[in-house]
Structure formats: C-alpha cells, structure tokens
C-alpha cells in the first residue's frame, strides 16, 4: 500500500486529493497548519490510513514513516489570502518548498509541485503552452504569489538536476468545486454566493477577460496521473473551455435559477486578460483530459455543497 504525503491537505484542492488517494488505497499523511484550510474539509475522513499533522512547513519538518509520493500543495492560493499574507506566501513557496523537497529526497519519494497558471502572468501567448516563459510583474501585489511559484519551479528543477530527486511540476489552472470558501474572493464561489442570495453579481472590469474552469474531480485525476508518470517538466492541467467572466456570470445565473443582475467593479491590478491552457502535453503523456464541463461542474458543486453553505450566510 503506497503512502502519500499531501502538504495543504486540509485546503480545497488538497482535501479532494486526500479523499481520492484514500479511495485508491493509499495511506495519506496530510500536513497542514490550517492557515487557509480547515479541519471541516477533512473531518469526514474515518479511514485508518489517514493522519493529519498540524505543522507549519516554513519551519524544517520531518516524518519518520516511509513515503512514496509527496504532493506539495501548501500555499495560500486565493488573491484575498495571498494579498493578506504576502510574506507567508513567499516563505511557503521558498522555505516550505525547500523543506518538502528535502523530505522527498530523504524518502526517495516522487515529488509533485502544485504550480499555477499564474506563472504565465498576463500572457502574450494564447492559449498558454508549457514552453511559454510568462509575462509577470514581479513587484506588483500579485508578484508574491506568482514569483513564489516561479521560484518553487526553479527549486524543484534544481533538486531534480543536482540532487537526483524524482520531481514533477503541475501548472494548475482555475479549479472549482465543493469546499471552496464562499468568501475566498475567487470568481465561482463569489458568483454562486451572490446568485444564491439573489444579490447582484459583481464582475470585475467589463467582464471580457477570460478564464478556463476545471472541475475539481478532473483536476485531482490529472494530478495523480502526473505524479504516477515519470515526467519531470511542467505540465498544464486544466480545462481548455474558455469563458469570459460575463459568460461565467450568466452560466451561474442560469444554473442557480437566480434573478440577480450583473454589476461591474474596478479591475484588480495585474489581472490577466486571458487564461486558457493548451493541454496537448497532458493528453499525450498522461492520456488525461477533463470530462466535466462548466455547467455540470456548477450543478455538482451546488448539489454536494448545499445552497445554504454556498450562500455563506453573509454578503
Ligand atoms: P487552499 O488555500 O484551500 O489550500 C492551501 C492549504 O495550504 C490550506 O489548507 C492551508 O492551510 C495550507 N497551508 C498554507 N500555508 C501552510 C504552511 N505554512 N504550512 C502548512 N500548511 C499550509 O488553496 P487551494 O485552492 O486548495 O490550492 C492548493 C494548491 O493548488 C496551492 O498551492 C495553489 O497555489 C495551487 N493552485 C490552485 C488553484 C485553484 O484554482 N484552486 C489554481 C492554481 C494553483
């Protein structure tokens, strides 16, 4: 029975990954200090093969028992969180990634870094392929997240090339599903919360900027397929169906049956104009592609979360 360690395992994506690894018969060690995650995401797990260690990975840490896979997901991920925690975000991407790579090295485990489409910045190439080096503002407010992830990618390749660690890098594009926090500031939970309260839906800018949304079940399947492959270079894992933010707002209104109007707010600094993964590489080397489209994913999110939980009880 393989053992997987998941940093950030009590977060949105990490907790779905823990569930799926357990379902596939792994033992799972979840390392999470609950900075942006919550015990509520993992408290349903009754499996004997699951443990949660409340550790801050910015400090050196060690785990005695043998580990086969390390999934390194710990990092604030929503703009609301990383703008509130700029130094923490830089430290978790740097020290936290060093410590976690060191752990993978000691255990001779396969290491997977959860990187992000944000390494492409406000892209000048569309759709984004893994060979594109990106267009990032290092000194803007979002730089703390984007550059932490770019540094973590460089570090991962250095541990691979110099230290012989078996590493992989996944560039995750916007992912959604149950367990997203209604107030975490990302578009889908915000729009769902507003629609389920029949309040106005707040779209940034004129809503013409695009995003591509992957349902969490598809994303998790892609992460595991990459971890179980022998590939070392970055791979995009996301849904290539591209929507403008205005189209997303309309889809949310349609699926929820809300009577909300759409209102427009100022665009955040350095908000990327377009976002769409080219997933040819994932198709070719992993045989992976998403199967759940936006509207179906929204329906599943509402069904599994419950309307009351998604509406968040506030504005
Ligand atoms: P999340 O905030 O829900 O989860 C992150 C988890 O990391 C939280 O549980 C948090 O408590 C934990 N954590 C943070 N700092 C820590 C520390 N110092 N020590 C231990 N644990 C710590 O975010 P998420 O959406 O689940 O994202 C998970 C990963 O996937 C992140 O690395 C993120 O950059 C990446 N990613 C996510 C998306 C997305 O759309 N959700 C897109 C691109 C990349």
Q: What are the CA-CA distances from residue 216 to residues 6, 67, 191 (Å)?
A: 16, 25, 17
Residues with catalytic function: 145
Question: For each successive 10 residues of the chain (315 residues), what is the average pLDDT?
Answer: 97 98 98 97 95 98 97 97 97 98 98 98 95 97 97 98 98 97 93 96 95 98 98 98 97 96 92 95 98 98 89 62
| Amino acid 35: pLDDT | 97
Of all atoms in ligand 1, which is nearest to the CA of residue 115? 44
**Which of 74, 152, 276 should be mutated for ligand 1, with most atoms under 8 A from CB?**
74
81 CA from centroid of ligand 1 (Å): 10
Q: Please tell me whether residue 152 adopts helix, strand or coil conformation.
A: helix
| Amino acid 306: pLDDT | 84
226 Cβ closer than 6 Å to some ligand 1 atom: no
| Amino acid 227: pLDDT | 98
Residues 246 and 263: their CA atoms lie apart, in Å, by 10
Q: What are the CA-CA distances from residue 157 to residues 16, 35, 192, 257, 311 (Å)?
A: 26, 27, 38, 47, 42
Residues 134 and 79 sit within 8 Å (Cβ to Cβ): no
Q: Please tell me whether residue 239 adopts helix, strand or coil conformation.
A: coil
| Amino acid 314: pLDDT | 46
172 Cβ closer than 6 Å to some ligand 1 atom: yes
Q: In which residue are the tokens 């959860």 written?
A: 114
Cis peptide before 127 (omega within 30 of 0): yes
Of all atoms in ligand 1, which is nearest to the CA of residue 117? 43
Q: What are the CA-CA distances from residue 32 to residues 28, 36, 62, 72 (Å)?
A: 12, 9, 13, 11
Residues 89 and 279: their CA atoms lie apart, in Å, by 27
| Amino acid 313: pLDDT | 58
| Amino acid 315: pLDDT | 43
Residues 240 and 277 sit within 8 Å (Cβ to Cβ): yes
| Amino acid 6: pLDDT | 98
- Other CB atoms within a 10 A radius of the CB of residue 34 amount to 14
114 CA from centroid of ligand 1 (Å): 9
- Other CB atoms within a 10 A radius of the CB of residue 230 amount to 8
Nearest to 213 by CA among 238, 193, 191, 246: 238
Which tokens sit at 291? 């199967």
pTM score, two decimals? Answer: 0.97
Atom 23 (ligand 1): residue with closest C-alpha? 77
Domains of the chain, start order:
3-175+213-237 (3.40.50.720), 178-211+241-273+292-310 (3.90.25.10)
114 Cβ closer than 6 Å to some ligand 1 atom: yes
90 Cβ closer than 6 Å to some ligand 1 atom: no
């Amino acid at each position: 029975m393989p053992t997987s360690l998941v940093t950030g395992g009590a977060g949105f994506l990490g907790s779905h990954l823990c569930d799926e690894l357990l379902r596939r018969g792994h033992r799972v060690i979840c390392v999470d200090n609950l900075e942006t995650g919550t015990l509520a995401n993992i408290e349903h797990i009754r499996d004997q093969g699951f443990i949660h260690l409340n550790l801050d990975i910015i400090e050196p840490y060690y785990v005695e028992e043998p580990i086969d896979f390390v999934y390194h997901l710990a990092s604030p991920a929503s703009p609301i969180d990383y703008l509130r925690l700029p130094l923490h975000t830089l430290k978790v991407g740097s020290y936290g990634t060093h410590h976690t790579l060191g752990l993978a090295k000691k255990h001779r485990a396969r290491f997977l870094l959860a990187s992000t489409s944000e390494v492409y910045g406000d892209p000048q190439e569309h759709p984004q392929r893994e060979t594109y080096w990106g267009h990032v503002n290092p000194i803007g407010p979002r730089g703390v997240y984007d550059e932490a992830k770019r540094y973590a990618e460089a570090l991962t390749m250095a541990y691979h090339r110099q230290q012989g660690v078996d590493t992989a890098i996944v560039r995750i594009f916007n992912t959604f599903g149950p367990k997203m926090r209604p107030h975490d500031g990302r578009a889908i939970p915000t729009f769902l919360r507003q629609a389920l309260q029949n309040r106005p839906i707040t779209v940034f800018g004129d809503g013409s900027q695009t995003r591509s949304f992957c349902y969490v079940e598809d994303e998790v399947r892609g992460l595991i397929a990459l971890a179980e492959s022998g590939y070392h270079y970055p791979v995009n894992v996301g849904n290539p169906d591209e929507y403008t933010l205005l189209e997303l707002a309309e889809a949310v209104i349609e699926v929820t049956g809300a009577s909300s109007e759409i209102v427009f707010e100022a665009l955040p600094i350095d908000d990327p104009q377009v976002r769409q993964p080219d997933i040819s590489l994932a198709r070719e080397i992993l045989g992976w592609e998403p199967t759940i489209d936006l509207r179906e994913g929204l329906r599943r999110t509402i069904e599994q979360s419950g309307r009351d939980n998604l509406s968040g009880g506030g504005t």
